[in-house]
Structure 1
Amino acid sequence: MTQRLDRATAARFAGLTLGHLTREWPYKLDQVLDGPGDLALPKTLHPVFHGSFDWHSCVHGWWQVMRLARLYPDMAEAAAVEALADRMLVPALIAGEVAYLDRPGTGGFERPYGWGWLLALHDELARRPDRPWAAAVEPLARAFAARFAAYLPKLIYPVRSGKHDCTAFALVHALRWARGHDASLAALIEARARDWYGDDRDCRPFEPSGEDFLSATLCEAALMKDVLGAEFAAWLATFLPDPFGAATACLRSPAIVSDRSDGRLAHLDGVNLSRAWCWRTIADALPDPAAARAIADAHLAEALPHLADDYMGEHWLATFALLALEAA
Structure 2
Amino acid sequence: MTLDEDTAAHFARTALGHVEREYPHKLDHLMAGPEDACTPGQLHPVFFGSFDWHSCVHSWWTLLTIRRSFAHLPEADAVDALAQTTFDEGKIAIELAYAQRPQSRGFERPYGWAWLLFLHLEASRHDDRDWAARLEPLARHFAAGWRDYLSILRHPIRHGAHANTAFALLLSLEWAREFDGELTALIVAAAQRYFSEDRDAQVWGPGGDEFLSPTLVEALLMKQVLAPQHFNPWLAQFLPGLSQGKPAALFTPAIVSDPTDGKAAHLDGVNFTRAWCWRALGLSGDNAERHMATSMEAIDGDYMGSHWLASFALLALLAAEERQG
Give the TM-score category using the shorter length. over 0.9
- Cα distance in 1, alignment partners of residues 276 and 75 from structure 2: 25
Q: How does 1:22-37 map to 2 (within 5 A)?
A: 22-37=20-35
Displacement after TM superposition at 1:281 (Å): 1.1
2:245/2:251 contact within 8 Å kept: no
Displacement after TM superposition at 1:46 (Å): 0.3
1:34/1:104 contact within 8 Å kept: no
Partner of 2:238: 239
- Identify which of 17, 40, 56 aligns with 2:54: 56
Letter in 2 for 1:267: H
CA distance 1:229–1:9, shift in 2 (3 Å) = farther
1:205/1:247 contact within 8 Å kept: no
Letter in 2 for 1:318: A
Partner of 2:213: 215
Partner of 1:172: 170
Partner of 1:302: 294
Partner of 2:323: none
- Cα distance in 1, alignment partners of residues 116 and 170 from structure 2: 12
Secondary structure of the residue aligned to 2:32 is coil
Partner of 1:264: 263
Displacement after TM superposition at 1:101 (Å): 1.2
Partner of 1:193: 191
CA distance 1:246–1:82, shift in 2 (3 Å) = closer
- Cα distance in 2, alignment partners of residues 33 and 245 from structure 1: 51
Displacement after TM superposition at 1:102 (Å): 2.2
Displacement after TM superposition at 1:18 (Å): 0.2
Displacement after TM superposition at 1:129 (Å): 2.6
- Cα distance in 2, alignment partners of residues 74 and 15 from structure 1: 15
- Identify which of 126, 151, 159 aligns with 2:124: 126
Displacement after TM superposition at 1:243 (Å): 1.1
Displacement after TM superposition at 1:229 (Å): 3.4
- Cα distance in 2, alignment partners of residues 140 and 150 from structure 1: 16
- Cα distance in 2, alignment partners of residues 261 and 40 from structure 1: 27
Displacement after TM superposition at 1:293 (Å): 2.8
TM-score, L = length of structure 1: 0.95
Partner of 1:314: 306
- Cα distance in 2, alignment partners of residues 211 and 264 from structure 1: 5
Letter in 2 for 1:78: A
- Cα distance in 1, alignment partners of residues 133 and 42 from structure 2: 22
2:43/2:98 contact within 8 Å kept: yes
Does 1:21 find its partner at 2:14? Answer: no
2:8/2:70 contact within 8 Å kept: yes
1:28/1:53 contact within 8 Å kept: yes
Letter in 1 for 2:234: W
Letter in 1 for 2:83: A
- Cα distance in 1, alignment partners of residues 298 and 72 from structure 2: 26
Displacement after TM superposition at 1:90 (Å): 1.9
- Cα distance in 2, alignment partners of residues 225 and 132 from structure 1: 32
Partner of 1:286: none
Root mean square deviation, CA, Å: 1.0
- Cα distance in 1, alignment partners of residues 285 and 10 from structure 2: 24
Partner of 2:88: 90
- Cα distance in 2, alignment partners of residues 156 and 104 from structure 1: 22
Stretch deviating more after TM superposition (156-165 or 233-242): 233-242
1:60/1:121 contact within 8 Å kept: yes
Partner of 1:39: 37
- Cα distance in 1, alignment partners of residues 244 and 203 from structure 2: 12
Secondary structure of the residue aligned to 1:293 is coil
What is the CA deviation profile of residues 147-188 of structure 1, one whole-angstrom value per residue up to 9, with x for unaligned ones? 001111211100001000000001111000000000000000
What is the CA deviation profile of residues 291-319 of structure 1, one whole-angstrom value per residue up to 9, with x for unaligned ones? x2311111001011221110111100000
Letter in 2 for 1:263: G
Q: How does 1:57-76 map to 2 (within 5 A)?
A: 57-76=55-74
Partner of 1:248: 247
What is the CA deviation profile of residues 203-244 of structure 1, one whole-angstrom value per residue up to 9, with x for unaligned ones? 111110011100111110111111113232221111111114
- Cα distance in 2, alignment partners of residues 4 and 161 from structure 1: 29
Give the length in aligned residue pairs.
319
TM-score, L = length of structure 2: 0.96
- Cα distance in 1, alignment partners of residues 227 and 292 from structure 2: 27
Displacement after TM superposition at 1:91 (Å): 1.1
- Cα distance in 2, alignment partners of residues 161 and 270 from structure 1: 14
What is the CA deviation profile of residues 219-275 of structure 1, one whole-angstrom value per residue up to 9, with x for unaligned ones? 101111111132322211111111144641001100111100111100001111111
Displacement after TM superposition at 1:27 (Å): 0.6
- Cα distance in 1, alignment partners of residues 89 and 181 from structure 2: 25
CA distance 1:246–1:73, shift in 2 (3 Å) = closer
Letter in 2 for 1:219: V
